[in-house]
Chain A
Amino acid sequence: MSNLSYIKNLTKLGPEEIQVIVQKIHDLAKDGEYVIMEFCGTHTREISRYGIRSILPKNLELKSGPGCPVCVTADEDIDYLIGIAEKYDLGVITFGDLVNVPGSNGSLNHLRAKGKEVKVVYSPLESIRIALQNPQKNYVMVGIGFETTVPSLAYTIKKIVELGVENLFYLSLHKLTPPAMKALLDAGEIKLDGIIGPGHVSTIVGIKRWQEYLKNYKIPFVIMGFEPEDVLYGIYFLMKKIKNGEYGVFSTYTRSVSSEGNVFAQNLVDEVFDVSDSVWRGLGVIPKSGLELKPKYSHLDARKKFALDEPVKVRKTACRCGEVLRGVLKPYECPLFAKVCTPTNPKGPCMVSSEGTCAAYYLYENS
Chain B
Amino acid sequence: MCLGVPMKIIQKKDNETAVVDMGKSKLEICTALTPEAKEGDYVIVHAGFSISILSEKEAEFLLESIRREVQINE
A-to-B contact residues, CB < 8 Å:
1, 4, 6-7, 10, 13, 17, 20-21, 24, 27, 40-42, 67-70, 95, 97, 122-126, 144-146, 148-149, 151-152, 155, 198-201, 203-204, 226, 229-230, 233, 236, 252, 254-257, 262, 264-265, 268, 353, 355
Q: How far is the CB of A89 from chain B (nearest CB, A)?
A: 27
Does any Cβ of A come within 8 Å of B54's Cβ?
yes
B-to-A contact residues, CB < 8 Å:
1-4, 6, 8, 29-30, 32-35, 42, 44, 46-49, 51-52, 54-56, 58-63, 65-67, 69-70, 74
Whether the Cβ atoms of B35 and A264 lie closer than 8 Å is yes
Chain B interface secondary structure, helix, strand, loop or mixed? mixed
The interface residues of chain A lying within 8 Å CB-to-CB of B70 are 17, 20-21
Whether the Cβ atoms of B47 and A95 lie closer than 8 Å is yes
Bound-state CA distance A257–B4 (Å) is 13
Bound-state CA distance A61–B52 (Å) is 31
Asked whether A68 and B33 contact (CB < 8 A) given A7-B56, A10-B63, the answer is no
The interface residues of chain A lying within 8 Å CB-to-CB of B30 are 123, 125, 152, 155
Whether the Cβ atoms of A122 and B48 lie closer than 8 Å is yes
Q: How far is the CB of A269 from chain B (nearest CB, A)?
A: 10
Bound-state CA distance A290–B70 (Å) is 42
Q: How far is the CB of B47 from chain A (nearest CB, A)?
A: 5
A122-B48, A255-B62, A262-B51 are known; give 17 further A-B pairs, CB within 8 A. A6-B8, A13-B66, A17-B70, A40-B2, A42-B4, A123-B49, A124-B47, A149-B2, A151-B49, A152-B30, A155-B49, A201-B2, A203-B44, A203-B52, A252-B62, A264-B35, A268-B33
Bound-state CA distance A148–B54 (Å) is 15
Whether the Cβ atoms of B33 and A264 lie closer than 8 Å is yes
Whether the Cβ atoms of A145 and B59 lie closer than 8 Å is no
Whether the Cβ atoms of B3 and A204 lie closer than 8 Å is no
Q: How far is the CB of A148 from chain B (nearest CB, A)?
A: 4
The interface residues of chain B lying within 8 Å CB-to-CB of A4 are 59, 62-63
The interface residues of chain B lying within 8 Å CB-to-CB of A122 are 47-48
The interface residues of chain B lying within 8 Å CB-to-CB of A149 are 1-2, 46-47
The interface residues of chain A lying within 8 Å CB-to-CB of B44 are 200, 203, 256
